[in-house]
Amino acid sequence: MLAERFLGRADAPVTVIEYFSLTCVHCATFHRETLPRVKSELIETGKLRLVLNDFPLDQPGLLAAMIARALPAERHEAFIDMLFRTQAQWAHQGFVEELAKLAALAGMSRDAFDAAMRNEALQRGVLEIRLRGERDHQVSATPTFIFNNRVPGVSGAIPFERFAREAGLSA
């Protein structure tokens, strides 16, 4: 089982679980347009913890998640952010070489990149997160947000106002 990756304090009063695929355009939209405000108003103020769960939809998404998970925890968020910002550049045919370039920018050597791509335990761990999402949280689309363990979750690139309302943190 892979270590949980999350933003915010472990003891925040509200927990939201996000299931995302790094090749999902709606996930990229949420991360570009809504997440910055969620971070500044809810996470950095200690009100909310956001758990980042991989839910790869395809081979490029799976391998990108594996590379992100192979990085040290302190580089995970920045790498995911970079992948979402550059999604149109790498999430297509020839994605392995593009991912290798992005991983190098995050400080990963080519040897470490190649090892992560071949790491069967890492692949199983990412796929187990996806399977738990399907089984425990009825996830069938990305992004899906589970607010304080309420199932079914809310799917789509929701705006900040709805995110805060679903979390019970609207002004």
* Closest of 107, 101, 70 to residue 83, by C-alpha: 101
- CATH number of the domain that 71 lies in? 3.40.30.10
pTM of the entire predicted model: 0.94
25 within a domain of the structure (yes/no): yes
The pLDDT profile of the chain, 171 residues, written as one tens digit per residue, is 899 999 999 999 999 999 999 999 999 999 999 999 999 999 999 999 999 999 999 999 999 999 999 999 999 999 999 999 999 999 887 899 999 999 999 999 999 999 999 999 999 999 999 999 999 999 999 999 999 999 999 999 999 999 999 999 985
2 within a domain of the structure (yes/no): no
Number of compact structural domains in the chain: 1
137 within a domain of the structure (yes/no): yes
Domain that holds residue 63: 13-166
Strand extents, DSSP E, 9-168: 14-20, 48-54, 144-147, 154-155
Strand extents, DSSP E, 35-170: 48-54, 144-147, 154-155
95 within a domain of the structure (yes/no): yes
**Phi, psi angle pair for 153, to nearest 5°:** -80, -175
46 within a domain of the structure (yes/no): yes
Quick one: pLDDT at residue 104? 97
53: which strand partners?
A: 19
162 within a domain of the structure (yes/no): yes
Which residue do the tokens 């363990």 mark?
Answer: 149
6 within a domain of the structure (yes/no): no
Distance CA 37, CA 44 (A): 10
129 within a domain of the structure (yes/no): yes
Quick one: pLDDT at residue 93? 79
